[in-house]
Amino acid sequence: MNKLTDLTIARALSGLKSKEFSATELTKAYISSAEASRELNIYVEETFDVALQRATLSDKKLKSGDAGSLEGIPVAVKDLFCTRGIHSAACSKVLNGFKPPYESAVTEKLWDSGAILLGKANMDEFAMGSSNTTSYYGSVTNPWSPKGAVKKLVPGGSSGGSAAAVSARAALAATGTDTGGSIRQPASFCGVVGLKPTYGRCSRWGIIAFASSLDQAGPITRTVEDAALMLNVMAGYDPKDSTSVNKPVPNYALNLNQGVKGLRVGIPGEYQMDGMSPEIKQLWDKGIEWFKNGGAEVKDISLPHTKYALPTYYIVAPAEASSNLARYDGVRFGLRKSGDDLQDMYSKSRAEGFGEEVKRRVLIGTYVLSAGYYDAYYLQAQRVRTRIAEDFKQAFSNVDVILTPTAPSAAFEVGANMDDPISMYLNDIFTVPASLAGLPGISVPAGLSSEGLPLGLQIIGEPFNEHNVLISGQFIETAANFDSLPQYICGG
Ligand code: GLN
């Protein structure tokens, strides 16, 4: 048998069921692995004692035959999810020390199904970022490094800790959230699978809000099947979230290997950007070939408003963020600095509590929502957002899924792009359009860059058709046969 930390969820579940190993043994293996990888700064809060207690309970349940569907599976949870009595700070100083008295709906479902919390995963502050370098608790280091060089790379963001945890074997799976790419882009950078479900598929209740019309929870795993197993538990209607959609949750893990024969796969010309890196283009071409060889009908499509997606996102997301983050005023949550009067207390608490990127977004958001600019920026961005959604709707009258690269590059060095927010924002160029349209998307590792770093391909699907996204993702996984491991694990 492989090391316990090499198993997928599917394999671990069968091993637990057949008593090959216990939930306690599996949890202990992950705790050792998480301890050994502390230098990567993946966890901002470790809950190993609670995990071991929970594993004992899982072992009892496995014995008595009332195990849940993820019984005994040790997971990391992005610090954006509120966890009852356990530090939850969105990796911001303003929330440092906050222990919510409630549990997010998605994590509640995970615990009900028997999953075990190993700890809270590092992330960009309030999920704003593409490199996990804006966290109050410091950057995360990607477990991958370039061939023959010792360089610290970013894991992507904002769910960088979650993706690094799964890649470095510091968790069997993790939760992430994706507002403009924060599940898919770090998954691509860390060589793991990241699934952003349709907006409304998973409850946002208890997830610290960034941009409410975009935020969506989803799994980060090592395989597509594992993503389906996690989504089976995470998805579902929640009356506490008014944007959650009341649709039955199918079994996403069924028929994943059905292949892509006859599937209509769209290739959007507009994603072929000027100056696109040749290796990203080659990877995309390789993906197209795989689908053709698999019997899919590959078609060129047009999504004409693609070039407006990034500027639109960087108006809508900061606008919503500036409003959502108004609640951190030093009165009810987290950090409070004393001031001469109430206004001064607010200003000092916020000035001290928020990092630079968060302040930038609050400023942009407040500006685009202010009287006189609202129509020119915010309202206009909302109109363009509708056009972008219509582009996809039109495209989906001819195709079933859309294939694109996930990110314009492989992981970059810690510190790169830091003094140029625009170049940092360009990381999201391929992920943001689907977010604006609320569509499901997956990133699956598909190859290595010339430097030996993982690169992902993205599949975008129709609303609530996660099935097509997953079968296409499974098809890429099988075709790519991506079995490289991060240097951090294999020492290569
Ligand atoms: N990188 C994007 C941003 O900074 C997306 C973040 C996210 O999806 N949470 O806003």
Catalytic residue (one of 28, 33, 37, 78): 78
pTM of the model: 0.97
The CB of 129 under 6 Å from ligand 1? The reply is yes
Closest CA to 386 of 290, 292, 305: 305
The per-residue pLDDT string of the chain (492 residues; one tens digit each, 9 = 90 and over) reads 459 999 999 999 999 999 999 999 999 999 999 999 999 999 999 999 999 999 999 999 999 999 999 999 999 999 999 999 999 999 999 999 999 999 999 999 999 999 999 999 999 999 999 999 999 999 999 999 998 888 999 999 999 999 999 999 999 999 999 999 999 999 999 999 999 999 999 999 999 999 999 999 999 999 999 999 999 999 999 999 999 999 999 999 999 999 999 999 999 999 998 878 899 999 999 999 999 999 999 999 999 999 999 999 999 999 999 999 999 999 987 899 999 999 999 999 999 999 999 999 999 999 999 999 999 999 999 999 999 999 999 999 999 999 999 999 999 999 888 777 777 888 899 999 999 999 999 999 999 999 999 999 999 999 999 999 999 999 999 999 999 999 888 664
Q: Would residue 78 show up in a list of annotated catalytic residues for this protein?
A: yes
The CB of 127 under 6 Å from ligand 1? The reply is yes
Catalytic residue (one of 104, 158, 349, 472): 158
Expressed in angstroms and rounded, the spacing between residue 425 Cα and the centre of ligand 1 is 8
Q: Which of 124, 316, 430 is the best mutation target for the ligand 1 pocket, counting ligand atoms within 8 Å of the beta carbon and taking the most?
A: 124
Catalytic residue (one of 113, 135, 159, 182): 182
Is the peptide bond prior to 158 cis by the omega test (within 30 degrees of 0)? yes
Query: Is 267 within 8 Å of 300 (Cβ atoms)?
Result: yes
The CB of 178 under 6 Å from ligand 1? The reply is yes
Closest CA to 483 of 8, 22, 4: 8
Q: Would residue 61 show up in a list of annotated catalytic residues for this protein?
A: no
Query: Please, what is the angle between helix 224-234 and helix 466-480, to 10°?
Result: 160
Query: Is 475 within 8 Å of 219 (Cβ atoms)?
Result: no
The full set of domains in the chain, from first to last, is 4-261 (3.90.1300.10)
Residue closest via CA to ligand 1's atom 5 equals 180
Distance from C-alpha of 160 to C-alpha of 322, rounded to nearest angstrom: 23
The CB of 432 under 6 Å from ligand 1? The reply is no
Distance from C-alpha of 373 to C-alpha of 378, rounded to nearest angstrom: 8
Tokens of 424: 């940092």
List, as one string, the DSSP characters of 127-174: G--SSS---TT-PPPPS---TT----B---SSSHHHHHHHHTTS-SEE
Q: Tell me, what amino acid is at 124? A: D
Query: Please, what is the angle between helix 224-234 and helix 9-17, to 10°?
Result: 70
List, as one string, the DSSP characters of 223-255: SHHHHHHHHHHHB---TTSTT--------TTTT
Tokens of 149: 């060089």
Q: Which of 79, 177, 182 is the best mutation target for the ligand 1 pocket, counting ligand atoms within 8 Å of the beta carbon and taking the most?
A: 182
Quick one: pLDDT at residue 1?
A: 42
Supply the Cα-derived Rg of the chain in whole angstroms.
21
Expressed in angstroms and rounded, the spacing between residue 183 Cα and the centre of ligand 1 is 9
Expressed in angstroms and rounded, the spacing between residue 129 Cα and the centre of ligand 1 is 5
Q: Would residue 337 show up in a list of annotated catalytic residues for this protein?
A: no
